[in-house]
Amino acid sequence: MPSMPHLIKNIIKKCFLGLWCLTVYLNAAAQNQIGPLGTWREHYNNKSVLHLVKGDLLYGATPNQVFSIDAKNNINFLGKSNGLHEIEITAITWDQTEAQLMIAYKNSNIDIVKGDEIFSIADIYLSKVYANKKINSIQILGPWALVSTHFGIVVVDLIKHEIKDTWFANNTRQAIITYQTISTADSFYALTEEGLFSTALKNNYITSNQWKKINGYAGIKKLSTYNNIVYAIGSKNIYQLPKTDPIYQSGIDSIHNAYAHKEGLYIIQSNVTNGSLLNLNTNNTVTNILDKTFLAMPVDMAIDQNTIWIADSLNGLIVKNTETKNISLGGPSEKIRGAGFVSGDYLLAPFGEKIRGFSSYSAAGWKNYIKLNGINLPVLTSASIDPIDASWWFTAGATLLHYNISSNSIESISHNTLPGNYTQIQFSKDGIFWALQDGQGLVQKQDNKWTSIPLPINYLKNGLKKMVVGRQGQAWIPGPANQGLYVYQSNKYFGTAGWKQLNTSKSSGNLPSNTVLSVALDNAGSIWVGTDNGIGILNCGDISKDICDAYLPTIKNTNGFLGLLLQRESVNCIAVDGANRKWVGTQNGAWLLSADGSSIIEHFTKNNSPLPNDTILQILIEPRYGEVFFNTANEMVSYRGFATEGSSTQSEIKIFPNPVPPTYNGPIAFRGLVENALVKITDISGSLVFETRALGGQAIWNGKSLTGNKVATGIYLVFVRDDLGNEKSVGKIVITKGE
């Protein structure tokens, strides 16, 4: 290969269960097991399956994950959360000799998964020799992988995991787009932008400058071979070389792929969203294997003895043996573009953007709804859960949708006839229902009475999208089109009801920018305002008579000087965890800030974490386990945070793991604590080993003593109390260090 940058080979050893870290079962809820503190999970839409290959297991790829299915029908997932380096998979293949899976990505990076190791080959990705380095397909040829790219054929040594050479199928050593390669016992074929080429093959090698163009096969886009017979596949015709008359011609359907097999040629084709799988038998008769009942846009297939697996880019994974069924791989069925909501039991995720329905997530996994109680759902844009009866609320255009789980009843509510879509719902701390109506203002439901609260006539009204209601009956609404912040105050807590508009001027808001993108209520009652120029914090009283100015937190920059917190960052969303720390979503990843905003604790990006994209649209925090869900411009992932919501009373201490196994080196969590509890750990004789404070309702111990040494095998006691000494509890933890 022309002078490539040095080989980058990263080996990541993971703690796998079987092959990969996450195991589920066919037709069961996938991606459902929450991991230890500080670990990630993907919550991807897996209904689009793009690649399949048969190895020691059946392997497949959705756009952002790889999965495997073993003989016992266990499904395992592999993604960025447990070892892969990228998303957007373009090709996979299995190396039978070395028992390893090769994965190529859209950015031209390559991973090789071998047992519990993952090798990253980044040479093509890092190379600046060619402008377009797209990887189109991979062929295994003896000890090599032949990677067809937009500039030629890259030869990868599958034993050393390094690049060996580059071949060009045009005898000029000039870049040529190569779509696919295949080989027979004595010949090698390359499908390129200039047509089909072949050359002699001997001992898994080719002779340079000996390529010959094979004419008569215009419009070819795929190749397949079996028993030294080569098939050239176009969108309408399939040829068996060296004949130039097609052996198969489709009608109105387009041929996507064909798979040569001992039982004949399996042909994958579709027409719009009606797919089919045919078998061109060895006697040249056609048998229909599957039709549009199961297939919409089939793109790939694999055969495992008497089982046929089909990858469908619209319908997911289909398996056919004695019966035919669709295999659910879990996750939301669409990208989440509505405003979600999370409680201790459910995460509700409306699809939004012209897609009807929503997804819910619970201990049972993801469930997708396009109907409720037999009623077709409309497009839903935001969600909330009533804290009193746990019923579900959604905004649906100019109506509100209310679903009662216990009675399985659904109602559509239009409390007024004013034009304007509802955009957000919130239940305030005092139990009042609030809704934001675009073009109008606020809607309240209190004591079963609906009330509309219009914006002042001089306020810009079109473009109201978000709001948060504080503890004192004040609603904070980002003004549309750079209008700063609108504040409504009821007369429940203050004598005067009314509106106020805040901007960047002192004594009139002191906001960091008039472009307000997000608002959040923290655990102390402060209002955090996210703008396109960082963050402001409001602690206001009666807005009818008091000045309401934001405090602008500062932080030391990398150059050592103080600057405004997240200055020049667009703060798309803010969420508050159980320890009152702030999770902030921007165009440049997610940030974890201290409770007062004086320090940055974490900064996650797609380059240093499993985030699939750096644009964070919404952050939701599950209160019981502290799991932080990031909805990005690509898809959703979650992170097991270190803070949970504090308990009102101290009961049993939940400890994980317990006992602590010898191989475990992660954090030990004490959950279910009262907020900010004092936690002391002693040995069995009562000597203090460790002391800490809970983050909200969860405390963390690294298994070391106050002096920083790992504690010995034994039984340790855990004492928990609040600052007043009223809420107390005692627990026990077992540490095992092994032989």
Which position has the higher pLDDT, 300 or 210?
300
Q: Where are the domains of the chain?
A: 654-735
The yes-or-no verdict on residue 488 having pLDDT over 90 is yes
The yes-or-no verdict on residue 655 having pLDDT over 50 is yes
Question: What does the pLDDT look like over 129-186, one tens digit per residue?
Answer: 999 999 999 999 999 999 999 999 999 999 999 999 999 998 888 999 999 999 999 9
For residue 739, give both structure tokens: 């032989």
Question: What does the pLDDT look like over 276-289, one tens digit per residue?
Answer: 999 998 788 899 99
Coil/strand/helix, residue 229: strand
Exposure string (b/e) for 48-86, b if CB count within 10 Å is 16 or more?
bbbbbbbbebbbbbbbbbbbbbeeeebbbbbbbbbbbbb
Which residue in this structure is represented by tokens 């004695």? 322
501 CB-near residues (< 8 Å, 6+ apart): 459, 479, 483, 484, 485, 486, 487, 509
Q: Report d(CA 393, CA 345) in Å as an integer.
A: 15
Residue pair 259/268 in contact by the 8 Å Cβ criterion: yes
Q: Report d(CA 484, CA 516) in Å as an integer.
A: 6
Model confidence band, residue 385 (pLDDT cutoffs 50, 70, 90): very high
Which residue in this structure is represented by tokens 């209160």? 623
The yes-or-no verdict on residue 28 having pLDDT over 90 is no
pTM: 0.91
Question: What does the pLDDT look like over 687-724, one tens digit per residue?
Answer: 999 999 999 999 999 999 999 999 999 999 999 998 88
Q: What is the pLDDT of residue 297?
A: 95
For residue 39, give both structure tokens: 């670990």
With 0-12 CB in 10 A as exposed, 13-18 as middle and 19+ as buried, what is 18? exposed
Q: Report d(CA 260, CA 267) in Å as an integer.
A: 9
Nearest to 307 by CA among 23, 51, 54: 54
Distances in whole angstroms, Cα of residue 719 to Cα of each of 412, 675, 735? 51, 15, 16
Q: Report d(CA 95, CA 100) in Å as an integer.
A: 5
CA torsion, points 511, 512, 515, 521, in degrees to nearest 10? -60
Which position has the higher pLDDT, 492 or 369?
369
Count CA within 13 A, CB hemisphere, residue 355: 17
Q: What is the pLDDT of residue 8?
A: 34
- Which strands, in side-by-side order, build the sheet including 474-478? 468-469, 474-478, 485-489, 498-502
Nearest to 116 by CA among 16, 31, 42, 193: 16
Q: Report d(CA 157, CA 160) in Å as an integer.
A: 6
Nearest to 32 by CA among 93, 72, 1, 75: 75
Which residue in this structure is represented by tokens 């089919």? 276
C-alpha 601, offset from chain centre: 22
Question: What does the pLDDT look like over 447-466, one tens digit per residue?
Answer: 989 999 999 999 999 999 99
The yes-or-no verdict on residue 117 having pLDDT over 60 is yes
Q: What is the pLDDT of residue 26?
A: 44
Q: What is the pLDDT of residue 738?
A: 56
At residue 78, φ and ψ (nearest 5 deg) are -135, 125
Residue 408: how many CB atoms within 10 A of its CB? 10
Residues 654-735, CATH architecture: Sandwich (2.60)
